[in-house]
Structure 1
C-alpha cells in the first residue's frame, strides 16, 4: 500500500491537514451555541447549512476548477475557507454562522473535487484500491485528530479559529508545490432517484438514512455530549472515539459482506446501530461505557454507506457505476442536510437523548425495510458480488476512484 500511495503523498497530506483544521468546527460551533442557550433547532439549522453547501458545491464547484485550473481553484477554496473560519470569531450570531457554514461546505466540496480528480488521474487499475484506502484513512484520521483542537479555547475563545485558519493556510503548500500534472475534469453523469430505486431499493433507502443519521450526529453530537455534562476534553475524546470506531470496523464488516449475502450484513449493521443508539439514549452518567458504545456506533454506522454503495454496484454494469455512485453520494448528502433539523426538533422535545433516539428510529426503520426486501427480492449470487470498497461520502468525483473503473474511462454522454 505504501508503494501505491507514495506518488500521491502530497495530496493525502493536504486532505489530512484540511480535515485536521476543519473537522472539529461543527463540534466547536455546536458547543459554543449550546453554552449561549441557543435552541437545538437553531443549532441543527447551522449544521444543515454546512451540508447544504457541501451538496451544492458538489454540483457547481467543478465549473470554477475548469476555468482556472486545479492549483488556483484549490488555493482559492482554501483561502475563502480560512477567511470564513476567522470570521466566526467576529460575532456569535446564528444567521452569520449559518451563512459561514454554507460557505465552508461549498469550499470543502471544491477541495474534495480538486483532490479526488487529481487522485483519479494518478491512480492505475492496480493502485486505485490502495489510493482510495489511503484517502479514506487520511480523511478520517485528520478529522479525528482535529477534535482535540477544541481544548485551545479555554482562555482565548478565538484561539481555535486562529489555529484552524493556520492549518488551512498551510494545507495549500503540499498542493501548490506538487509536481503532479493537473487533470481535466470530465462531466460526471449521475443516476436519477428513480433509476437508483429501480436498481436497488435497499441501497437507495439505506444510503439516504445513513446520511440522515451521520449528518445528525456530526451536527449535534457535541450538543448531546455537552448536555450530558462532558467537558470539552471529554467531548473531543468522545467524538474522536466514534470516528476511530468507524475506521477500525469498516474493513472487517466489508470482509464479511464479501463472503456472505451483503443485504444481511447491511441489515445487521442497521440493527446494531438501532440497539447501540437505544443504549446511548438512556445513558445518564458518562463513563467508559459511553466511549465503548460510541466506538460501536461509529464502527457500524460509518460502514453503512460503503456497504450500500457496494450492494448497488453489484447490480449495475460497469459503464453505469460512476453515475450510480455519484447519484448515491448526492442522496447521502441530501440526507445529511435533512437529518440535523429533525434530530434537533426531537432534542428540543426529549432532551439530549433525542439525538440518538432519532438515529435509532432511522436505523430501526431501515432494518425493517431491509428485512422486507430480503423476503421479496432475490439475493445476488456470491460469485456475482464485487469486492467491498471504502467509498468516500464526499462528492460524485470520488466514484472515479473505484478500482474496477477502466483507466481510459469516458462518461457515456461524452464519448
Structure 2
C-alpha cells in the first residue's frame, strides 16, 4: 500500500494534468451530439461526424508512436495537447458539418495520443507489484473527471462557452507535466494486426472486445442524443450519462472478484445479461426520466466491464504468453473499430426509427454476445490468472509497454 501511495504521489503532476484532459474529453465528446442536433444536423449526420472521433483514435494506434519516437514523450505531449486545444476551439469558428467532421477526427487522434503518452509513463514508472493499484487510481481519476465534463455539458451552455471551457481545461492539463523530471518511456514496437488469427486463438475475447466498443463508446457519444430526442433537457442528458458511468465504476470493483472465482466466460455472460435486462426494461415499462436514471445505472454496470473481461479472457486462453502483445493490440484495434461503427449505426437507427432504436441496438448486441458466449468453451480454473482491474481505456498500451521493457 505504501509503495502504491509513493508512486501515486511521485506521479501526482501527471494525474493532475490528465484529469483536466479527461474533463475536456467528457465535455467535448459528450456534447457533440447535443450541439450538432441544435445545429439542425440529421441523426445520421450526427452519428457519422461523431464516429470520426474514433477513426482518429484508430489512426493514432497506427501512426502516433512514430511521431512520439522522434520527438520524445514530453514534446509529443505538448504537441498533442496544443492540437487538442486548437481543434476544440475551432469548433466555434464555423457550423459547417464537413469542418466539424475534420475537427472530430483530429480530436480523437490527439486525445488517444495523449492517452498513449500518459499510460506509457504510468507503466514505465510503476512496478508490476503495485501496477493494478496505481491504474485503479488512474481509473478513479478518469471516471471522476469525465463525469465532471458531463456535468458541465448539462449546464446548457452555448457552443462558444462549451469549447472555451474545454480549451481552458486542455491548456491547464498541459502545464503540470512540465514539472515531472523523469526519463521518457520507451516506445513499443509496431505489431502486425491479424483479426482472423486472433479469432482462432480467442474468439470470445475478440467478440466481447468488438461488442464493448459498439456499446461503451456508443453510450458515451450518443446517449445524450437518445435523451434529448425524447424531449428532455441537456441537463437531464448529462445526468443520464453520469449515472451510467457510476454503474460502470462500481461494476469494476465487483467483476474482478466474480471473474476470478467463477471464470471470465460466466462473468461476460453475467455482465451482458444485466445490461440486456436493463435495456429490455426501457422497452417493457415505458419509464419516466427518473426510472431511466435507475435503469441506465444497470446498463452501465453491465457494458463498461466488457473490454476488461475480454482482455482477461484472452490472457487465459493463450498458450504462448509471448503472443499476448499481439492479441492486446488486435483487441484494441477491434474495440476501436466497434467504437467507430457505433455512432454511425446508432445515428442512422435513431434517424430512421426514433429514439427507441437506441435501446433495440443494445438489446441486439447483448443478446448476440450472451448466445455467443454460451457456446464457447470454459477455461480450466488452473489456467486462469488474476484479473487486471482495468477499464477499456487504461489497458490500451499496458501490455505493449510491459513487453517492450522486458
Residue 318 of structure 1 corresponds to which residue in structure 2?
321
Counterpart Cα distance in 1 of 2:8 and 2:395? 21
Q: State the shift of 1:408 in Å.
A: 4.2
CA 1:313–1:93: 2 relative to 1, 3 Å: same
Q: Is the 8 A contact 1:188 1:326 kept in 2?
A: no
Give yes or no for the alignment of 1:346 onto 2:349.
yes
Residue 207 of structure 1 corresponds to which residue in structure 2?
209
Q: State the shift of 1:118 in Å.
A: 1.1
Counterpart Cα distance in 2 of 1:296 and 1:166? 33
Counterpart Cα distance in 2 of 1:407 and 1:216? 32
Counterpart Cα distance in 1 of 2:349 and 2:149? 28
Counterpart Cα distance in 2 of 1:32 and 1:248? 30
Cα deviations across residues 79-112 of structure 1 (Å, max 9, x unaligned)?
A: 1110111111112222111110000001012101
Residue 369 of structure 1 corresponds to which residue in structure 2?
372
Give yes or no for the alignment of 1:112 onto 2:111.
no
Give the counterpart of 2:298 among 296, 299, 313. Answer: 296
Give the counterpart of 1:7 among 10, 33, 42. Answer: 10
Q: Is the 8 A contact 1:227 1:352 kept in 2?
A: yes
Q: Is the 8 A contact 1:190 1:324 kept in 2?
A: no
Counterpart Cα distance in 2 of 1:56 and 1:239? 27
Give the counterpart of 1:166 among 157, 168, 181. Answer: 168
Counterpart Cα distance in 2 of 1:113 and 1:144? 21
Residue 379 of structure 2 corresponds to which residue in structure 1?
380
**TM-score relative to the length of structure 2:** 0.94
Counterpart Cα distance in 1 of 2:403 and 2:362? 38
- Please list every run of at least 4 consecutive aligned residues from structure 1 whose deviation after the TM superposition is greater than 4 angstroms: 281-285, 394-397, 405-408
SS of equivalent residue, structure 2 residue 129: coil
Cα deviations across residues 45-93 of structure 1 (Å, max 9, x unaligned)?
A: 0111000001111211111111111111111101111011111111222
Counterpart Cα distance in 2 of 1:254 and 1:65? 33
Please give the residue correspondences for 1:394-409 in structure 2 after superposition, counting only pairs within 5 Å.
394=393, 398-400=397-399, 408-409=405-406
Give yes or no for the alignment of 1:196 onto 2:198.
yes
CA 1:303–1:310: 2 relative to 1, 3 Å: same
Give the counterpart of 2:228 among 218, 221, 226. Answer: 226
Q: Is the 8 A contact 1:12 1:134 kept in 2?
A: no
Counterpart Cα distance in 1 of 2:393 and 2:50? 16
Q: Is the 8 A contact 1:246 1:301 kept in 2?
A: yes
SS of equivalent residue, structure 2 residue 330: helix
**TM-score relative to the length of structure 1:** 0.92
Please give the residue correspondences for 1:125-204 in structure 2 after superposition, counting only pairs within 5 Å.
125-154=128-157, 156-189=158-191, 191-204=193-206
Give the total of aligned pairs: 402
Counterpart Cα distance in 2 of 1:282 and 1:94? 37
SS of equivalent residue, structure 1 residue 158: helix
Counterpart Cα distance in 1 of 2:76 and 2:363? 40
Q: State the shift of 1:318 in Å.
A: 2.8
Counterpart Cα distance in 2 of 1:166 and 1:283? 42
CA 1:84–1:372: 2 relative to 1, 3 Å: same
Residue 259 of structure 1 corresponds to which residue in structure 2?
261
C-alpha root-mean-square deviation of aligned residues, in Å?
2.0
Residue 85 of structure 2 corresponds to which residue in structure 1?
82
Counterpart Cα distance in 1 of 2:242 and 2:209? 23
Counterpart Cα distance in 1 of 2:38 and 2:57? 26
Q: State the shift of 1:116 in Å.
A: 1.3
Residue 32 of structure 2 corresponds to which residue in structure 1?
29
Q: Is the 8 A contact 2:139 2:394 kept in 1?
A: no
Counterpart Cα distance in 2 of 1:228 and 1:107? 33
